[in-house]
Chains A and B, each alone.
Chain A
Amino acid sequence: MNPSRFDSLDAALASLPREVRPGRELWPEIARGIADGVRQAPRAAWPQWPMALAASLLLASLVGALCWSVARERTTAEILARRTPVAGTATVPVSLQLPQDADYVAARAALERTFNERLDLLAPATRDRVRADLATIRKANADISAALAQDPASPLLWQLLRNTWQQEINLYTSVAQTTQSMLTRSTRS
């Protein structure tokens, strides 16, 4: 294609009027649309509130389910620990891992999913601190589990193990609640 032909085409395009007058006055409808939007703005925010409330209630129910499951697991674990005849014998504790109750597993999974989804909403420094805390909790859990394998009758170790589970749940809950308030604020503005 001849470049000069493009040059003249470019010149012709550039010389086209950029402004074209609409066939009718558009402002009245625009002003009405803006005014309607201003009036509707508070209503538009309303549908977000039930969702935020539902999310908070869901979070509360998840935490409640987890606490109940951990409490029930503690009873079982203590009974098992009391029944273990002698520390250091070959008896393997049943519950060195997380409680396997179906409700607990589902609730914990949901909370962990929320935690992972919302971690990126935190400021980088906070996010790093949360990750470091989680790593510390999990390391403690692994160490205590190893100790319990050697001393399954120790009530203190069982208590410490339960504490690590609870600390992990507390961390998940804390992140979920913090980011929930951030999400709620963003839906208000």
Chain B
Amino acid sequence: MVDVEFEAIYRSHVDQVYGLCLRMTGQPALAEDCTQECFIAAWRALRTFEGRSRMSTWLHRIAVNTVLTLRRRRPGDALREAGELDEAALQMPGGAEAAGTLDIEAAMGRLPQGARDVLVLVGVYGHSHEEAAAMLGIAAGTSKAQLHRARRLMAQQLGIAMEAA
């Protein structure tokens, strides 16, 4: 029988973990797989959670590791190198504000994988470069370079979109 407390942990973090997985994979079905695998892995590793970091940071680390593992398992198949984020998957409030949000999400979904990963972790989820680098298995300097690249590409994309509008 799975612990009731763990289900409570799942309930309070699932939306954030799924959001992270969705932005990294770009595909709802894969993001769901990653989210499930993440929480199963978290259950197995729960004893090792020492409370030094926040539970959300710990779960993010597991989620990123799950996504990276899935990429290695299915290279170039289910996970795209770069492409469109499924906008329908982003269940957000309607209106003009949501439309602007979707522009940003769509631009983020078109970024190259390495740049997108860093932008998601640092730009959206507020991790430091050191944390993001540790999660992604890259150097902190690489994380900074990828973020700069991502911001430049995003600005270009959104600038073009704004001019066209």
Chain A residues within 8 Å of B, Cβ to Cβ: 1, 5-6, 9-10, 12-14, 16-24, 26-27, 29-31, 33-35, 37
Contact = CB atoms under 8 A, between A and B. Distances in A.
Contacts of A17: 19, 92, 101
Given A23-B32, A33-B36, A13 B119 contact: yes
Nearest to B159: A5
Interface in B86-105: 89-92, 100-101, 104-105
B104 A12 contact: yes
Contacts of B125: 18
A122 B31 CA distance: 42
Interface in B10-42: 10-11, 14-16, 18-20, 22, 28, 31-32, 35-37, 39-40
Interface in B33-55: 35-37, 39-40, 43-44
B27 to A, nearest CB: 12
A24 B32 contact: yes
A21 B36 contact: no
A37 B163 CA distance: 53
A9 B161 CA distance: 14
Nearest to B103: A12
Contact of A9 (B35, B40, B44, B158): B158
Contacts of B37: 33
Given A6-B151, A9-B155, A17-B92, A22 B31 contact: yes
Given A14-B126, A23-B28, A26-B14, 17 more contacts: A1-B155, A9-B155, A13-B104, A14-B124, A17-B101, A22-B14, A22-B15, A22-B28, A22-B32, A27-B7, A27-B14, A30-B10, A30-B36, A31-B2, A33-B40, A34-B43, A37-B44
B154 interface: yes
A29 B158 CA distance: 39
Contacts of B18: 20-22, 26
B152 interface: yes
Interface residues of B, number: 43
Contacts of A26: 14, 18, 32, 35-36, 39
Contacts of B158: 9
A31 B155 contact: no
A37 B46 CA distance: 14
B36 A31 contact: no
B92 to A, nearest CB: 6
A24 B31 CA distance: 12
Contacts of B28: 22-23
A6 B159 CA distance: 11
B151 A20 contact: no
B19 A20 contact: yes
A16 B125 CA distance: 9
A31 B123 CA distance: 32
Contacts of B32: 22-24, 26
